[in-house]
Amino acid sequence: MLEQIKKDLLELSDPERAKKLSGYFKTGKGQYGEGDIFLGIPVPEQRKVAKRYRDLSLKDIQELLSSKIHEHRLTALIILVSKYEKADDSGKEEIFSFYLKNTENIDNWDLVDSSAPKIVGAHLFNKDTSILFKLVKSDNLWERRIAILSTSKFITNNDFKDALIISELLLHDEHALIHKAVGWMLREIGKRDQETEERFLNKHCMQMPRTMLRYAIEKFDKNKRKFYLAQKPQKND
């Protein structure tokens, strides 16, 4: 089954699209996606393949996750999310642990964003979330992104506490992908409770990187956006 799924993905490859994706996902030397290899397969096509192989074993998923080919890893995560959603409590615990052991292979923003909320966030909702506070202190960019993106599951259930604490911990993070992720989660909080988001902004907007602030206030009205941007001196951050 493992070799067949690799063959199916290879047959869908598009070299021209792969070249564009390699640039979009910053695979050059010194960039965040350095060394990532793309086949050039649209995500909807990967989802179709994943659906055909939804019974793939964790052992085979592990091999796909260990691949240098981006679509192997993303398809593996799509399958893993599906398996998690259908698993019993014991199965969910096993998949959650498996996911955390593979964070080094969940190493681009689309891989994190498509899986962390649906596995880590879903598993920790209404449970002990201390693992997120270990991840947020990691030197690994993707573990920090997993920490903040996992809170989106809590936010959709109007539980903002962990998202706000983690956002505060990441205020001085140096990476733009974290700035965007934190701003995104703050914006999601604001969609549900703008007063809560504004309390956070009133306290922290002067410290926030401008990109983080822009993402956070994207849904505010024009005058309110101007107000918050005026609080933050423009500079390259």
Q: Taking 80 as the threshold, does the pLDDT of residue 235 lie above it?
A: no
* Residue 220 to residue 197: CA distance in whole angstroms: 11
Same domain, 100 and 157: no
**116 domain-assigned:** no
Same domain, 16 and 102: yes
Q: What are 62-105's pLDDT values in tens digits?
A: 999 999 999 999 999 999 999 999 999 999 999 999 999 999 99
The whole-model pTM stands at: 0.94
**230 domain-assigned:** yes
The confidence score (pLDDT) of residue 236 equals: 44
Q: Is residue 38 left, alpha or beta, with left meaning phi > 0 and alpha meaning psi from -120 to 50?
A: beta
CB-CB contact of 49 with 9 (8 Å):
yes
**118 domain-assigned:** no
* Angle ∠(124,140,71) on CA atoms, nearest 5: 80
Q: What are 155-192's pLDDT values in tens digits?
A: 999 999 999 999 999 999 999 999 999 999 999 999 99
3-state secondary structure of 37: strand
CATH number at residue 82: 1.25.10.90
Same domain, 85 and 129: no
Domain count, the chain: 2
Same domain, 135 and 103: no
Q: What is the mean pLDDT of the chain?
A: 95
Q: Taking 60 as the threshold, does the pLDDT of residue 4 lie above it?
A: yes
Same domain, 10 and 40: yes
CB-CB contact of 219 with 185 (8 Å):
no
**120 domain-assigned:** no
**24 domain-assigned:** yes
Q: Which among 152, 157, 127, 156 is positioned nearest to 167, based on CA atoms?
A: 152
